A and B are shown apart, each in its own frame.
Chain A
C-alpha cells in the first residue's frame, strides 16, 4: 500500500466571533477510517470542508504526505461526498461521472464509467436527468463520483443520509476498500455506521 498521511496541525476555524473548533491535532495514516462524530453544529462538515479545500482554516494547517513528501495540492487527490452537496439537475448520472473523470484526468471510456455506475446500482438510470433521481439515488451518485479513480483521500460527510439498507451495505464496502488504498474521513451520527471506523474523533466534546 502507498504511504499516505493526513496531518492537521493546530487547526482552527472561526465563523464571525464563534470558534467551531480550535487547536485540532490529527495524524491519520493510510489504511485508516476516521469517524468524525458530534452534535449538530459541532463542526463535522466544517472539518470535512477544510480538508477538501472548500474552506480556509482560520489558524493552523492541513497537509497530505505521500511517502514522506508533502503533496502540493491535495484537492486533486481526494474524493468528496456530502449529503447536502448539490448535483447538476439537468445532467444525467453518466454525464456527471464522465465530467468528473475529464476534469480529474481520469479514464473516461464509456465501459469504465458504466461499470462504476453499475457498482452503485445506477447503470439502469445512467441516462436519466438527475432531477428525476430519488434522494437515495443522488446519494449513490455522489458516492460513485467521490470514489471514481480510487482517490487516496476519501471525504464522506454524512453519506449514510437517505440510503436504504443496500446503500448502507455499499457504503460499508466503499470504506473497506478505502482502507486498502488510503485514508477516509467519515462524518456520521448514525451509531451503527460509527462502528465502521478504525479511529473516532468526537467534536464539540
Chain B
C-alpha cells in the first residue's frame, strides 16, 4: 500500500516536472518575480545599512513574491486545460496533493538556489546563526508550499479566482510570514530562533495533518 502510494505521488510529481521542463512557464515566472524583487530591494537599499528586521522582512517578501506565480502551475492549469478530470480518475486525492506539493517544493528549492546568492550579492549576505537559517528555510518552505498547494486547489475550482486567492492566502500566509521574519531576525543577530521555529514546525505539523484531508474534501465534488 505504502509503496503504491509513493509510486503514485512520484508519478504525479514527475509528470508535472516533465511538463514544466517542456514549457518552462512556472519557474521562469517565479524567477522573474523573485529576481525583480531582490534587484529592486538591492537598488533601493544601495549604500545603506539595513537593520536585521528589515533584512529578514525583505528576504521573505522576495521568496513569497517568487512563489506566487508557481501557484498557477499546480491545480489552476489542470482545471483550465480540462485535465483535472483525468487526474481525478487516475489518482487518489492524497497522492494528488502530495504530488503537487512535491512539484511546488521543487520550485521553492530552485527559487532559493537563485535568490539566496543574488540576495547576498545585491542586498546583504545571510549571516548569523546559519543552522537557524537552514531550519527556518526548511520549515518555512514546507509551510509555504503546503499553503500554496492547498489554496491553489481551492481557487482552481472557482470562477472568481483572483478575489478568492487574495482572501484565502492572506490569513493563512500572514502569521507564517510574521513568524519567519521574527525567526530570521533572531538568526541574523546570531541567536538560535527556538521559539519561532516551534511556531513554524507547529504550523507545518498542522498543515501536514490537515492539508491532505481538507484537500480530499474539495478535490472531488
Chain B contacts for A82, CB-based, 8 A: 85
A186 to B57, CA, bound (A): 58
Is there an interface contact between B86 and A85, defined as CB atoms closer than 8 Å?
yes
Q: Digitize B80-99: 1 where CB-to-A-CB distance is under 8 Å, 0 elsewhere.
A: 01110110111110010000
Report yes or no: A95 in contact with B221, Cβ–Cβ below 8 A: no
The answer to whether A56 and B221 touch (CB under 8 A), given A102-B7, A103-B11, is yes
B1-48 residues with Cβ-Cβ distance < 8 A to A are: 4, 7-8, 10-12, 15, 18-19, 22-23
Asked if A84 meets B90 with Cβ closer than 8 Å, knowing A90-B19, A95-B18, A102-B7, the reply is no
**Contact in complex: B22, A90 (CB < 8 Å):** yes
A187–chain B nearest beta-carbon distance, Å: 15
Query: Interface size of A by Cβ–Cβ distance < 8 Å?
Result: 27
> Judging by beta carbons under 8 Å apart, are B89 and A75 in contact?
yes
B: contact size bracket: 20 to 34
Question: Which of chain B's residues has its CB closest to A89's CB?
Answer: B81
Chain A positions 39-57 with a Cβ under 8 Å from a chain B Cβ: 49, 52-56
Q: Is A132 an interface residue (CB 8 A)?
A: no
Beta-carbon contact of B221 and A88 below 8 Å: no
Q: Give Cα A84–Cα B12 distance, bound, in whole angstroms.
A: 22
The answer to whether A86 and B83 have CB atoms under 8 Å apart is yes
The answer, among B11, B19, B82, for a CB contact under 8 Å with A86, is B82
Q: Are B86's CB and A86's CB within 8 A?
A: yes
Q: How far is the CA of A99 from the CA of B81 in the complex (A)?
A: 18
Q: Give the residue of B8, B83, B89, B92 whose beta carbon is less than 8 angstroms from that of A88.
A: B83
CB pair A80–B89 under 8 Å, yes or no, is yes
Measured between alpha carbons, how far is A104 from B11 in the docked complex, in Å? 10
Chain B residue nearest in CB terms to A80? B89
Inter-subunit contact B81/A56 (CB<8 Å): no
A-B contact pairs, 25 of them (CB 8 A): A52-B89, A53-B88, A55-B221, A73-B92, A80-B89, A82-B85, A85-B82, A85-B85, A85-B86, A86-B81, A86-B82, A87-B83, A87-B86, A88-B19, A88-B83, A90-B19, A91-B15, A95-B15, A100-B90, A102-B7, A102-B10, A102-B11, A103-B7, A103-B8, A104-B90
The 5 closest A-B pairs by CB, nearest first: A86-B82, A102-B11, A105-B4, A103-B91, A90-B22
Interface residues of A (CB under 8 A from B): 49, 52-56, 73, 75-76, 78, 80, 82, 84-91, 95, 99-100, 102-105
